[in-house]
Amino acid sequence: MSGGLEITFLGTGTSHGIPVIGCSCAVCRSSDPRDKRLRTAIHVLAPEYAFCVDTPPDFRQQCLREGIGRLDAVVYTHSHCDHVLGFDDLRRFCELGDIEIPIHGSPATLADLARVFQYAFAPGPKFKNYVRPSPRPFDGEFFLGETKIVPVDLPHGRATTNGLVFWRGGRKRFAYMTDCQAVPDAALEAAFEVDVLVLDALRHDAHSTHLTVGQALEVVARMRPAKAYFIHMCHDLGHEATEAMLPQNVRLAYDGLKINV
C-alpha cells in the first residue's frame, strides 16, 4: 500500500444480487466465481484509517469473507435498500472499539437513515453492543484520515446519488460512481484523468436509472482515467464474455478484487 489506498470490492452486483432468485440463466448458473455478485460496496484501507462505502444487505457476509475487523467510518452514496440495509451490522464494530461510528452522507441520505433506523439515532443512552452512529453530513469536500474526499452529484432516476473522488498525497487517486444514469459535466471535471475510475454499468440494454456498458464506455472516453472498473452489473453480463469486449484499460470488477491506488 505504501501510503496509498487498498480498495476491496465487497460486492459488485445490482440490487437483486447474482444469482437471482428463481432464475436459471447462464450467468446465474455459471461456475465462474466472478459471476457470483453480492450487492455493491467497497472497503477502503489507508495506513491510518479504514472505512467502507455503503453497507448493503450482504455486509456481514462480506466482512467475514474479507476478514474485516476494523472500521473507522462509513460513507453512504445514497439511501436505497441495496446500499444501506446492512447498517445494523455496524454494531459489532462499535462494540469492538467501544466507539461511535462516524456516518458520512448528504443531509438527505442521513435523514433517510435516521428515519429507517430511528432506534439507533434516537437520543438517550447507548449500550456498548448497540450500533452507535455519529452522523456527519457533508456539503463539500471532507477528510477521512489523510484522504480528501470530494462528493459529486449523480442522477439516479428520481434520486441523486453521491459519487466520490478520493485525493491522497495531492493526487486524484480514485473515483467511485455507483448507481447513476449519467455523469454530469461537473462530476466529469472533478474526476478528470483520475488514476482509477469505478463506474456503474448495469447491462447492455437501456435502463432508466443506470448506465449501460456502452454509456459507461463513453464516460471513460471523456474522463480519461488511467484504468476503469465497472460495477453494479446485473445477470445480463457474464464476466468472461463481457471483459472480452472491453478495452484493455477497462475491466469488470468482481467480489473480493483488491486494487491499490
CA neighbours closer than 13 Å in the CB half-sphere of residue 198? 29
Asked whether 74 and 101 are in contact (CB, 8 A), the reply is: yes
Side-chain-side CA neighbours of 41 within 13 Å: the count stands at 32
| Mean per-residue pLDDT, 246-257 | 98
Label residue 1 by pLDDT band (50, 70, 90): low
Percent of the chain with pLDDT over 70: 99
Q: What is the pLDDT of residues 44-64, one digit of tens each?
A: 999 999 999 999 999 999 999
* Rounded average pLDDT over 135-147: 97
CB 41 within 8 A of CB 256: no
Q: Cβ contacts of residue 199 below 8 Å, gap of 6+?
A: 177, 178, 183, 211, 216, 219, 220, 228, 229, 230, 231
Q: State how beta strands 142-144 and 49-53 pair.
A: unpaired
Round to whole Å and give the CA distance between 168 and 4. Answer: 7
- Mean pLDDT, rounded, of the chain: 96
In a domain, 157, yes or no: yes
What are the φ and ψ backbone dihedral angles of 185, each rounded to 5 degrees? -55, -40
Is residue 62 included in any domain, yes or no? yes
Distance, CA of 124 to CA of 180 (rounded, Å):
37
Residue 231 has pLDDT above 60, yes or no: yes
CA gap 113, 50 in Å, rounded: 21
Q: Is the pLDDT at 40 greater than 90, yes or no?
A: yes
Cell representation of residue 49: 484509517
pTM, to two decimals: 0.97
Q: Is the pLDDT of residue 96 over 80?
A: yes
In a domain, 1, yes or no: no
What lies within 8 Å, CB to CB, of 253 at 6+ separation is 9, 12, 198, 229, 230, 231
- The per-residue pLDDT for 128 is 79
First CA to last CA across the chain, in angstroms?
Answer: 8
Domain span holding position 210: 6-260
Q: How many domains does the chain have?
A: 1
Percent of the chain with pLDDT over 90: 95
**Confidence at residue 21, expressed as pLDDT on a 0 to 100 scale:** 98
Residues 6+ apart with CB under 8 A from 226: 193, 194, 195, 196, 249
Say how far apart CA 189 and CA 50 lie, in whole Å: 27
Q: Is residue 200 part of a domain?
A: yes
In whole angstroms, what is the distance from residue 48 CA to residue 42 CA?
A: 17
Rounding to the nearest 10 degrees, give the CA dihedral for residues 15, 17, 18, 21: -90
CATH number at residue 14: 3.60.15.10
Specify the residue for cell string 456498548.
128
